Amino acid sequence: MSKLPEIAALLLAAGRSTRMGGLNKLTADVGGQPLLLHAAAAALASRARPVVAVVGHQAEAVREVLQGLQVVVVDNPHHAAGLSTSLKAGLRALPATCGGVVILLGDMPHITADHIDRLIAAFAPGAIVVPVHRGRRGNPVLWPAALLGEMLQLEGDVGAKRLIGAHADRVRDVDLGSDAIFTDIDTPEALRLLRR
């Protein structure tokens, strides 16, 4: 039986929560624990290793949420310059042995270890594994090591989404059958609804 490639999880947790009216959503209480902890727990319960988290805005408070967990925490002092800086800080912290990386957003509380493991199960070297539901693509996305160099060239407040279009021939869609792949918490109203 061939050995499965090593897949890391990269948890982006450096954002400024600009639409939250001053509240850092990642440290906000959801079901008795900080919002970020839901995503971190899913990553840790999955077969992805290592789990790397990038912190920036209110770094100490966010680090506190992750304290005691088997998570490699990386500081991004340039987080205010946009998402690409956090992506690059995290990618640089990955071991060279990784065959790929699942990029998780810290504000997606309904993503589970099972979702992550199903993306990993669908992975083949060079493939971009994208979750879909009802014909729409969402997050998290599993990126192959072969594209990490291109991801390190990104600039500004952009993620790697445009690379999906640029490498359409590499994309492997996986229907996760769940709206979890669309649910991120960006506004006070979304947080209120989640708490309900």
Q: What pLDDT is stored for residue 1 in this prediction?
A: 41
Q: Is the pLDDT of residue 18 over 70?
A: no
pLDDT above 90: percentage of residues in the chain = 68
Residue 124 has a CB neighbour count (10 Å cut-off) of 12
What is the Cα–Cα distance from 50 to 93, expressed in whole angstroms?
A: 10
Q: What CATH number belongs to 7-195?
A: 3.90.550.10
In 10 A of CB 189, how many CB atoms?
10
Alpha helices in the chain (DSSP H): 35-45, 59-66, 83-92, 113-121, 148-151, 161-166, 188-195
pLDDT tens-digit profile of 148-179? 999 999 887 767 788 998 999 999 999 999 99
User: Domain map of the chain by residue range?
Assistant: 7-195
Do 179 and 136 touch, CB atoms closer than 8 A?
A: no
